[in-house]
Amino acid sequence: MSSAPRLFDSEALSQRRHRAALAPAHFLQRQAAAEVRERLEDINRVFTAPAVIGPQAEEWSRWLGIENTAVVLPDAEILPFKKGSHDLIVHALSLHWANDPVGQLVQMRLALQPDGLMIACCFGGRSLSELRAVLAEAEAKIRSGLSPRVAPMGEIRELGSLLQRAGFALPVVDASLTEVTYENATALMRDLRAMGETNVLAARERGFFRRDVLALAESLYRQHFPAEGDRIRATAEIVFLTGWAPSPDQPQALRPGSAKMRLADALQVEEHSAEDATPRPMQKD
């Protein structure tokens, strides 16, 4: 049986997270947890056997208000679950680092009780699009080549298909955009280190970043992605994957194409695509 390709260096990820824990930056983690809590409050159900997965699982259990009942687990490739042991599982903003995200989702589905809920958060493909662009342009101009500097992150449509492949019922995928402003690119990279979200691609280039590449990237960043107050902007896209463990009592989805009215018309709202979403501003020193 073939194993999933090893895209990320798990040992390096563990080391970066350990270093980040000394002076963490949790503002995006807190924001994602707040959005998950809102979703849970909208569901008319009391969850009695929850689990939270991720490097900040204990903090998430407090932010979600389930610290007294939740089992907290690291986001290891093999999750120590018993089949049907939980009615709620939250994967706390770390699924984007999984070498086998479908495998993670399948493990969670099997660990859910019938009609149990899974919510997984991860950074989406529009995250750090500005940094990715300027680093690529700077390296192309100075080194006449590119190296993987920012980890690839899934697009919302691709991530939605993972839920179906993992066998979840009633899958829903949505995303939120946050625009954070920084004094300069160095401050942005410092925050990424404090989040434990720096590059751990297995195929990454080892060694220090060349100063001339960094200097040009800083100049290009200010030129292409300025923000008010002589600052720069960075985008964070957080994708929320929601699915239920199959159960005979669940409502069944209609056959595609059988709807008699567009959802936007039924709700009497104007329809927008995910690409039209407006980032929420946030300023970081």
Buried b (16+ CB within 10 A) or exposed e, 221-231: bbeebebeeeb
Transcribe 135-169 into DSSP letters. HHHHHHHHHSS----S-----HHHHHHHHHHTT-E
What is the pLDDT, as a whole number, of residue 141? 87
Above 80 in pLDDT, residue 100?
A: yes
Q: Is residue 145 part of a domain?
A: no
> For position 19, which CATH number holds?
3.40.50.150
What are the C-alpha distances in Å from 268 to residues 208, 264, 271? 54, 6, 9
Residue range 166-192: mean pLDDT, rounded: 95
Q: Which two tokens stand for residue 143?
A: 């080194």
- Residue span of the structural domain in which 158 resides: 10-125+152-179+235-283
Q: Is residue 61 part of a domain?
A: yes
C-alpha span between 56 and 91 (Å, rounded): 10
Above 60 in pLDDT, residue 275?
A: no
Q: Could you report the per-residue pLDDT of 117-133, keeping only the tens digit for each?
A: 999 999 999 999 999 99
Beta strands 50-53; 86-91: pairing state: parallel
Tally the domains of the chain.
1
The phi, psi pair for 267, rounded to 5°, reads -90, -10
Identify the weakest region by mean pLDDT among 3-12, 84-93, 199-208: 199-208
Q: Is residue 223 part of a domain?
A: no
The phi, psi pair for 253, rounded to 5°, reads -65, 145
Q: Could you report the per-residue pLDDT of 197-228, keeping only the tens digit for each?
A: 988 877 766 666 678 888 999 999 999 999 99
Q: Report the predicted TM-score, pTM, of the whole model to 2 decimal places.
A: 0.84
Q: Is residue 71 part of a domain?
A: yes
Provide the β-strand partners of residue 175.
239
Q: Is residue 246 part of a domain?
A: yes
